[in-house]
Structure 1
Amino acid sequence: MGTLSAWHWLIVLAAVLLLFGSAKLPQMARSLGQSARVLKAEARGLKDDEKAAAERDQDKPAAGKRGPQQVEDKQRDDPKT
């Protein structure tokens, strides 16, 4: 009862043809394909942006932490030591 047989699919296909007409279906399929391509390109762009941001964050020292050169400069400039 949970699966659709071939007859069910034929009835659904006939209903879609009656509702939208045979002329509109190729246009709708083309539009759906273009939308899928745009969505895929945007998702790929987001991944690339995240990857680039992660690489930039690895290159910079963390906020509040000093790199080794900065610590040496601070000790050299401090008159107390």
Structure 2
Amino acid sequence: MFNNIGVSGLIIILAIALIVFGPAKLPQLGRAFGDTLREFRNSTRGIADDHGDEEPAKIEEVTGR
């Protein structure tokens, strides 16, 4: 996702965030970002699991087994 951002780019982004939000808000923002990312992963994992359950039935229909 962030393959093109190097270490210097990441440092610049963090410095700008520190200036804009201040040191008191950064832990809260990081925690909110982590929670959002965790929820996204859990929901996509749930969708992938649901989709994985349907595929064997489709294969059986096609092959007749």
1:36 aligned partner: 37
User: C-alpha root-mean-square deviation of aligned residues, in Å?
Assistant: 3.0
Q: Who is 2:17 aligned against?
A: 16
TM-score by length of 1: 0.53
Percent of aligned pairs sharing the same letter? 32
State the Cα distance separating 1:35 from its structure 2 match. 0.6
In structure 2, the partner of 1:49 is 50
CA distance in 2, matches of 1:50, 1:57: 11
Q: TM-score, normalised by structure 2?
A: 0.64
How much does 1:54 deviate?
A: 1.2
Structure index of larger Rg: 1
Q: 2: distance between equivalents of 1:12 and 1:32?
A: 14
Shift of 1:4: 6.9
- The verdict on how the C-alpha distance between 1:55 and 1:19 changes in structure 2, with shifts beyond 3 A counting, is same
Q: Aligned residue for 2:28?
A: 27
Q: Indicate the structure whose relative CO is greater, using CA pairs within 8 Å and at least 6 residues apart.
A: 2
